[in-house]
Structure 1
């Protein structure tokens, strides 16, 4: 893990401001683009971008040596320059959110910042093009290697989803061996990063997993269940589902995937 981010940022000459209190600094990368960094007794090893720009986060995550946020958005009231905000259910206040990135070395940190500059000055397409130039040339693989790689990826995905949810996302069932780690945006429709993103996953009991995969249930951005009208009251009762159900917790990183599922897979949307 690289712990000298402040040296890299200062060396690039970005205007900066120490945030009131300790630990955080604001860096102005472009006219309308800001980053926050931490600075503690063990050095500086984290950069945060606005959680509102998820498309850029996906581009940045593809850079070799960049360690993407595994725990979704970080809530911090000090991130006042960020547009992403969610309500704190305890206080009722809106809290700013950022996506945390870390780095293996100075080279990956500089590539990250180069892409951020392109985004700030030229937009997402230019940033994506620069990130693509940094990608390693893919080596040819056999069919067997591809199958093995896919299985390893699916196992890693399941481990991440279980680590996040721990129990069924709705019922709280803790019999992990029977729970299904389902992709919210289907595997076949996901890019290489989305396939392994824990926030594209949901841990469900088998009956709820089947209903979700078939588009007979979906979830709002707040996690409330949506039940397809073709499921009768009797069917819902026999399946053990009700309109009172909801996901036990939601992170901002889940929202694009939940929206994809509602718009592309939910039966009422398709039939409407």
Structure 2
């Protein structure tokens, strides 16, 4: 995933490897096969804060890569996330298919 996303979070541009997480769009427990679990199109390289928010359904992404935030976020969290974000470019059809799943199954508006 580091190679695919060129070693940086596509939202925040953070490139410190200690702060990056291979964030699965569809969690391992919900994948039907190992191939699905390891598919590069089932992941986004996110900074730790973005990864935590994404995993907990506090943020998701539209098909064009624009972040969509949950109303459950506190004002400071919303400020931190929205103030340091941009649209993800380079999403493939596979990413978009998995993001539809994420929006339907994980995201809590």
- Common fold: TM-score over 0.5: yes
Q: Does 1:242 align with 2:73?
A: no
Runs of 4+ in structure 1 displaced over 6 angstroms? none
- How far the C-alpha of 1:180 sits from its partner, in A, is 0.2
| Aligned-pair CA distance for 1:177 | 2.9
Unpaired segments ≥5 residues, structure 1: 1-160
Unaligned runs of 5+ in 2: none
RMSD: 1.5
| TM-score normalised by length of structure 2 | 0.88
| Aligned twin of 1:50 | none
> After superposition, what is the alpha-carbon deviation per residue over 1:91-137, rounded to whole angstroms, capped at 9, x for unaligned?
xxxxxxxxxxxxxxxxxxxxxxxxxxxxxxxxxxxxxxxxxxxxxxx
Q: Does 1:179 align with 2:12?
A: no
Tell me by how many angstroms 1:192 deviates.
1.9
Shift of 1:249: 2.3
Of structures 1 and 2, the one scoring higher in RCO (CA 8 A, sep 6+) is 2
- Corresponding position of 1:72: none
CA distance, structure 2, for counterparts of residue 225 and residue 193 of structure 1: 27
- Select 1:254's aligned residue among 76, 95, 100: 95
Aligned to 1:205: 47
Structure with more of its chain in strand, by fraction: 1
Deviation at 1:236, TM superposition (A): 1.3
Q: State the alpha-carbon separation in 2 of the partners of residues 246 and 162 from structure 1.
A: 18
Equivalent residue pairs, number: 106
